[in-house]
Amino acid sequence: MAEYTPFEMIAYTGSRVLEDNTIVFVGTGLPIIASIHAQLTHAPGLGIIFEAGPLTPVLEMGMPLSVGDTRACRKACYLKGLSSVFELTQRGHADFAFIGGAQIDMYGNVNSTFEGGTYTKAQTRFPGSGGAGAMAANCEKSIIIMALEPRRFVNQLDFVTSIGFGDGAENYREKAGVMGSGPYRVITNEALFGFDEGTRRMMLLEVAPGRTADDIKKKVSFDLLVSSDLKEMAQPTEKDLRLLREECDPDGFFLARKLK
């Protein structure tokens, strides 16, 4: 099997999760790469929404470096600005939200605002929601990318930036006035997580080759459910890696980064 980096594994797994003939609302970086890879392989009918306004552009000028990159506007079938694409999600026209964050809890709530201290006197300040808060509230399913560390997979968030299943109550999202079915998958380079339908708690679905469920539990601060049908994560093939490196991110802006 070919060698690959942690970020290549995340991008490849993100691609696997996406489905053909659906619409994904992407954030900057790995979500864009995963979406392009999906279009080049199993999901040619996948449409991409970028936060700055484009809907289903043709990315023939190279990978956009941000959601506001003009390359994301090339031959878009819809280009009316930020407010208009968020209106599309409120009308139910986005199947997936693809977002990141700094912390996540067992119910898929995400913090990308601050860590430690208070909102006005934070120990660490993060970039904030961008559009992720609205994406998680309005898109049908949320896909979350996060590094697998106990300080990130926490019992209690310091701040809820992007809503998941709240406190886990069956009707929490309905009472909160948000749309969609909520968190769907959480992707790391070591594991793929989903959510139990009954309890809405995070569940381990797949582990990276050479890892066990106990290895993953040690990197999660809460009580993690484990699927009775636990699988090994699929690895990218030589063809997948060529597409990721030569077609999706040829300059290595995101895939060539190192884990800290």
List, by residue number, the catalytic residues: 51
Amino acid (1-letter code) at residue 250: P
| CA-to-CA separations, 189 to 179, 193, 203, 239, in angstroms, rounded | 29, 11, 16, 19
| CA gap 90, 124 in Å, rounded | 32
Contact of 67 with 52, CB cutoff 8 Å: yes
Burial of 188 (0-12, 13-18, 19+ CB in 10 A): buried
Residue entry with tokens 């009580």? 223
Residue 41's φ and ψ, nearest 5 degrees, are -120, -95
Beta bridge partners of 117: 122
Query: Any residues with CB less than 8 A from the CB of 239 and at least 6 apart, and which?
Result: none
Q: For the chain, give percent helix, strand, coil, nearest 5.
A: 25, 25, 50
Amino acid (1-letter code) at residue 10: I
Contact of 85 with 95, CB cutoff 8 Å: no
DSSP 8-class letter at 70:
G
Q: CB-side exposure of 177: number of CA atoms within 13 Å?
A: 1
